[in-house]
Amino acid sequence: DAKTTQPPSMDCAEGRAANLPCNHSTISGNEYVYWYRQIHSQGPQYIIHGLKNNETNEMASLIITEDRKSSTLILPHATLRDTAVYYCIKLNDYKLSFGAGTTVTVRA
Amino acid sequence: DAGVIQSPRHEVTEMGQEVTLRCKLISGHNSLFWYRQTMMRGLELLIYFNNNVPIDDSGMPEDRFSAKMPNASFSTLKIQPSEPRDSAVYFCASSQGSGGFTDTQYFGPGTRLTVL
C-alpha cells in the first residue's frame, strides 16, 4: 500500500498563506485524507481530514482534487508557531501510516 | 479538556531492565493505539485496542514487548528485558469509535525512552 508523496521541505513567510501539496494517486474510494503535524518534541497533532469535499476548520483548509489523487493543505496566515513537520496520510481502516512529511519553516 | 496523558515523559534505563510506559485515554474514547518513533523508521503503529481488546498487534517488535488495557481508560506498554535498540519516543493515541475511517486519533505527548 503506497504512502503519500510530499515535498521534503518548504519555507513560508510569517503572515502569508502556506500551501502544502500532497499526492495520493493510489487512494481508494473509502480512504480519507488526514493531515497531522508534529512540532519539535511534541506528539502528532490532528489538523483536518476529508474524503472528497473541501473542508475548513479553525486551523486550516483542505482542498481535494475531483479525482482525489492529490490535495492541498492551506494554512491561511502562517505564524512562527506553525513551524513543524506536516504529514499527509491516507487512513486505511485504523492505520495511520506516517511518511517523511514536509518540514515547514515559517520565517519572520 | 485533558488530552491523552502519558507517563513518564522521559525514561532512562539500563539494558536488561524492565520498562513500563503508561497511557490514559481521553474520556469517552474506546480505541487505543501505541506508536513508536525513531529517526530510522519514523512513526510505526505497534498495537491497536478497541474496547479493551487487542485488535492488531502485528507491529509489536517481539515477545519482549507487551501491552495491556486493565480498564477502559488506561493502558501500559511493557518492555522486558529492554535493549538499546528500543530507544525511541513512544506515543499513545486514542479515538472515539471502532477505529474506522473517520475516527480521528489524538496523540499524547510521548515518552522518550533511552536504554543504555
Q: B44-70, pLDDT tens digit by residue?
A: 999 999 999 999 999 998 899 999 999
Per-residue pLDDT at A95? 80
Which of B43, B95, B111 to mutate to test binding with chain A, by most A CBs within 10 Å of its CB?
B43
d(CA B115, CA B64): 14
More confident residue, B11 or B98: B11
Per-residue pLDDT at A78? 96
The sheet carrying B74-79 orders its strands as B5-7, B19-24, B74-79, B65-71
Q: How many CA atoms lie within 13 A of A25 on its CB side?
A: 2
Which of B107, B111, B112 to mutate to test binding with chain A, by most A CBs within 10 Å of its CB?
B107
Burial of A78 (0-12, 13-18, 19+ CB in 10 A): buried
Mean local confidence (pLDDT), A61-88:
96
Q: B71-114, pLDDT tens digit by residue?
A: 999 999 999 999 999 999 999 999 987 656 568 899 999 999 99
Which residues from B are below 8 Å from A30, CB to CB? 101
Is the CB of A32 inside 8 Å of chain B's CB atoms? yes
Per-residue pLDDT at A2? 61
Per-residue pLDDT at B17? 97
Mean local confidence (pLDDT), A100-106:
96
Per-residue pLDDT at A96? 83
pLDDT band at A55 (very low <50, low <70, confident <90, very high): very high
Per-residue pLDDT at B52? 92
Q: Is the confidence at residue B13, as pLDDT, over 60?
A: yes
Per-residue pLDDT at A18? 97
Which residues from B are below 8 Å from A59, CB to CB? none
One-letter-per-residue 3-state SS of chain A: CCCCECCCEEEEECCCCEEEEEECCCCCCCCEEEEEEECCCCCCEEEEEECCCCEECCCCEEEECCCCCEEEEEECCCCHHHCEEEEEEEEECCEECCCCCEEEEEEC
